[in-house]
Amino acid sequence: MCNSKPKSPMAQIDGRPVLQPASNRISINPNCQTPRKKSLKKFDSHKEIKTTVGFHKVSPPISPKPVTPKSDGLKKKAKLNVNGGNELHIPGTIAIEYRKKGSLTNEERKIRVAHYGRVGSIKNEAKVVTLDLERNASDVKGEKRCSFITPNSDPVYVAYHDEEWGVPVHDDRMLFELLVLSGAQVGSDWTTILKRRNEFREAFAGFDAEIVAKYTARKIGSLIEKYGLDLTFVRGVVDNANRILEVKLQLGSFDKYLWGFVNHKPLSTNYNSSRKIPVKTSKSDSISKDMVRRGFRLVGPTVIQSFMQAVGLTNDHLVSCHRHHHCSASC
């Protein structure tokens, strides 16, 4: 039989005597056979089948190596600057440039709307607007103009800028004409109004205030039908003709009335950028209030500011424009 009592109080682990408590003393008897414990290892049926049947060991599929972008990719897509410089246009910067150009286009559109009136269509405007706001267009002689005159500007508008805009006007008929045109370009643009300038002259008798003041309702109706003018606008022009006659009786001329607001000397500004040209000023606001008090129509501060620029009451040509000094010395 198997004797479980220890022969000595000292137990040995790995050949070394170890002192243990009485309850943990274990006797090692080579003649004592203890039942084998069942292995906890799970039976792998797939492995057993493979070993019995004689299948070869199948290695797992090799995963594809991750494709790393080559360092030469950007070099292939990078392009040298057109001017021959070392500047590289890496993909991604093109989108940034387009966003910058888009923001510049929107800024210029806001300036045009505020200064010259809203255009009919954004799509048509995009064909005329340039992306560089501060680029001065040059004529054949190389003389610089204001930055809102671009190579795509209509020749009629360019000629108006070079010959009339900012030049001091003292003729009552011309003052009346430019007052009407300034009111007509609200909701439109100067190019469209200038192209219809002859139609306005025919409709309003060469802007003779004495003739226009006598227009009857039948005459106004015929003008609306013939020239496609707005009823409110035509009535406003007739009322302004009557007010001009009243100013002439009181002060002698419409010219004396208008130029009295600036002490008969044009206001000379020194703007370096078209962004700084205001839509209205305190002077245009005071003139507008006085004209409204006298009964004039279509004479808001923005219209009067545009009118002041047209008749030379203020010289808003940019300093870099070749017309700036000429208009200042024309009075």
Domain ranges of the chain: 155-328
8 Å CB contact between 293 and 287: no
What are φ and ψ of residue 294, in 5° steps?
A: -80, -10
268 strand-pairing partners: 315
Confidence (pLDDT) at 115: 56
Say how far apart CA 142 and CA 319 lie, in whole Å. 16
Query: Who contacts 268 (Cβ-Cβ below 8 Å, separation ≥6)?
Result: 314, 315, 328
* Number of C-beta neighbours around residue 124 at 10 A: 10
Tokens of 331: 């009075």
Confidence (pLDDT) at 107: 78
10 strand-pairing partners: 19
8 Å CB contact between 101 and 126: no
Confidence (pLDDT) at 330: 63
Confidence (pLDDT) at 209: 96
Q: Are strands 10-13 and 16-19 parallel, antiparallel or unpaired?
A: antiparallel
**Which is it for the CA torsion 317, 319, 320, 324, positive or negative?**
positive
Annotated binding site for Zn(2+): 146, 161, 317, 321
Query: Who contacts 279 (Cβ-Cβ below 8 Å, separation ≥6)?
Result: 114, 115, 302, 305
Tokens of 285: 């606001």
Torsion of CA 248, 254, 256, 262, to 10 degrees: 140
CATH topology of domain 155-328: Endonuclease III; domain 1 (1.10.340)
Tokens of 163: 């010959």
Annotated binding site: 146, 161, 317, 321
Helices (H), ranges, 120-196:
122-128, 155-163, 172-184, 190-195
The CA distances from residue 11 to 1, 23, 26, 34, in Å, are 21, 12, 7, 19
Q: What is the mean pLDDT of each run of 10 residues along the chain (331 residues)?
A: 51 62 53 53 48 49 56 46 46 70 78 58 41 41 81 93 93 96 90 94 96 95 93 95 96 95 90 89 95 95 95 92 80 54
Q: What is the largest distance, in Å, between two alpha-carbon atoms of the chain?
A: 150
Taken as a whole, the chain contains a residue count of: 331
Say how far apart CA 171 and CA 186 lie, in whole Å. 24
Tokens of 64: 């594809």
8 Å CB contact between 154 and 281: no
Say how far apart CA 177 and CA 200 lie, in whole Å. 9
Confidence (pLDDT) at 74: 45
Q: How crowded is the C-beta side of 60, counted as CA atoms within 13 Å?
A: 2
